[in-house]
């Protein structure tokens, strides 16, 4: 049984990691840290874990994270990089759910996150944790940068089109919506029930922190320059991401029928158990992925248009965070990639 630790276990992603790992079978959570809740029973903070966890939160500087085989960091940006060097030197592998190791350009990271990076030398070693693209590199990685929730949906949605060069890369659009759990567990006026309920709005329209991460991935997929308009929105619901993606076919590919593009997606994701390409013309909804590690895709093409519309849905806390982190852990530890992730969506 592999020993697993979690840095920052009091947030939604930390709790989701514990839920998914409770019946994993090959990995056991032996250490969960929290500065604010040090000494408290995990099950007192999260009663849903009463029958599966008897752990108490430990202080991150006093626990035994170095005795683990692998550690997840589910803490805010800037925390994982303060632990990374010590863990790596101790032979402990790290899956970071924050943004500390996602961007290869350190200057770009510091601009968007407003922090000085504490271990830039480790950024080059870190592998971006999108298994559908970097699976073989993830297997041998010491540090895996778990993707953000929006970047997961957007990249998986655009991937086959960019890999085949069928679309113009200078005019991509991602119109994405997220449930409020994506904003974290902290008390903020804008995410209070009376402020959020019965309302709908865009935010960070002039530039969201996930934009450089998405662009970095899309440029690797497309092999060159990519321009993307990315507008996130906040939905009055708890879980889920719905991304509507727009890509214009190149002049050379303009006569490509939709059923051919549908076949392209089905072939590309044929062996991916956590990406589900729905029949042409489908309209996936977020409730049918809630609690699961699946990203569902559907393709459309408006009549008389060269634009391909990709609809992508996922649970932002599972495939968009903790589930994908467990998927990466499984690869890193030589386990079956789907271990602990077979749960079906919670409907209704």
H/E stretch holding 84: helix 80-89
pLDDT at position 193 is 84
Averaged pLDDT for residues 99-127? 96
Q: Which of 9-13, 191-195, 298-302 has the lowest mean pLDDT?
A: 191-195
How far, in Å, CA of 75 to CA of 14, rounded?
8
- Tell me: pLDDT of 192 over 90: no
How many C-beta atoms lie closer than 10 Å to residue 23's C-beta? 10
Residue 183, classified by CB atoms within 10 Å of its CB into exposed (0-12), middle (13-18) or buried (19+), is middle
**What are the residue boundaries of the structural domains of the chain, listed by start?**
2-125, 150-316
How far, in Å, CA of 217 to CA of 85, rounded?
25
Averaged pLDDT for residues 102-111? 97
Tell me which residue of 75, 27, 28, 16 sits closest to 54, measured CA to CA.
28
pLDDT at position 61 is 83
**pLDDT digit string (tens) for 204-229?**
999 999 999 999 999 999 988 999 99
- Tell me: pLDDT of 324 over 80: yes
In terms of CATH, what superfamily is 150-316? Answer: Dihydrodipicolinate Reductase; domain 2 (3.30.360.10)
Q: How confident is the model at residue 191 (pLDDT cuts 50, 70, 90)?
A: confident
Catalytic status, residue 149 = yes
Q: Which of 68, 149, 295, 339 is catalytic?
A: 149
**pLDDT digit string (tens) for 143-184?**
999 999 999 999 999 999 999 999 999 999 999 999 998 888
Averaged pLDDT for residues 72-97? 96
Averaged pLDDT for residues 108-127? 96
Q: Which fold has domain 2-125?
A: Rossmann fold (3.40.50)
How far, in Å, CA of 262 to CA of 199, rounded?
35
């Amino acid at each position: 049984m592999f020993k697993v630790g979690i840095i920052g276990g009091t947030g939604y992603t930390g709790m989701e990691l514990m839920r998914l790992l409770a019946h994993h079978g090959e990995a056991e959570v032996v250490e969960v840290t929290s500065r604010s809740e040090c000494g408290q029973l995990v099950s007192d903070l999260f009663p849903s874990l009463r029958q599966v966890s008897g752990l108490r939160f430990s202080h991150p500087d006093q626990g035994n994270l170095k005795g683990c085989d692998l550690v997840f960091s589910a803490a805010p940006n800037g925390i994982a990089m303060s632990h990374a060097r010590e863990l790596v030197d101790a032979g402990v592998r790290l899956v970071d759910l924050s943004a500390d190791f996602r961007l290869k350009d350190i200057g770009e990271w510091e601009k968007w996150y407003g922090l000085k990076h504490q271990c830039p030398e480790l950024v080059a070693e870190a592998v971006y944790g999108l298994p559908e693209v970097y699976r073989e590199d993830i297997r041998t990685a010491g540090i895996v940068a778990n993707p953000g929730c929006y970047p997961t949906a957007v990249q998986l949605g655009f991937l086959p089109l960019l890999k085949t060069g069928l679309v113009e890369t200078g005019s991509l659009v991602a119109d994405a919506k997220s449930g409020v759990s994506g904003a974290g567990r902290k008390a903020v006026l804008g995410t209070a029930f009376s402020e959020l309920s019965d309302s709908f709005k865009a935010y960070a329209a002039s530039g969201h922190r996930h934009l450089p991460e998405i662009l970095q991935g899309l440029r690797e997929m497309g092999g060159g320059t990519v321009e993307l308009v990315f507008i996130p929105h906040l939905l009055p619901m708890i879980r889920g991401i719905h991304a509507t993606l727009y890509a214009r076919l190149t002049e050379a590919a303009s006569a490509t029928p939709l059923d051919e593009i549908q076949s392209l997606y089905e072939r590309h994701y044929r062996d991916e158990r956590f990406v589900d390409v729905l029949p042409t013309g489908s309209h996936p909804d977020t409730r049918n992925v809630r609690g699961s590690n699946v990203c569902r895709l559907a393709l459309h093409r408006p009549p008389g248009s060269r634009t391909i519309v990709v609809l992508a849905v996922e649970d932002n806390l599972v495939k968009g965070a903790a589930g994908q982190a467990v998927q990466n852990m499984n690869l890193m530890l030589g386990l079956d990639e789907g271990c602990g992730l077979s749960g079906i969506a919670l409907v209704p």
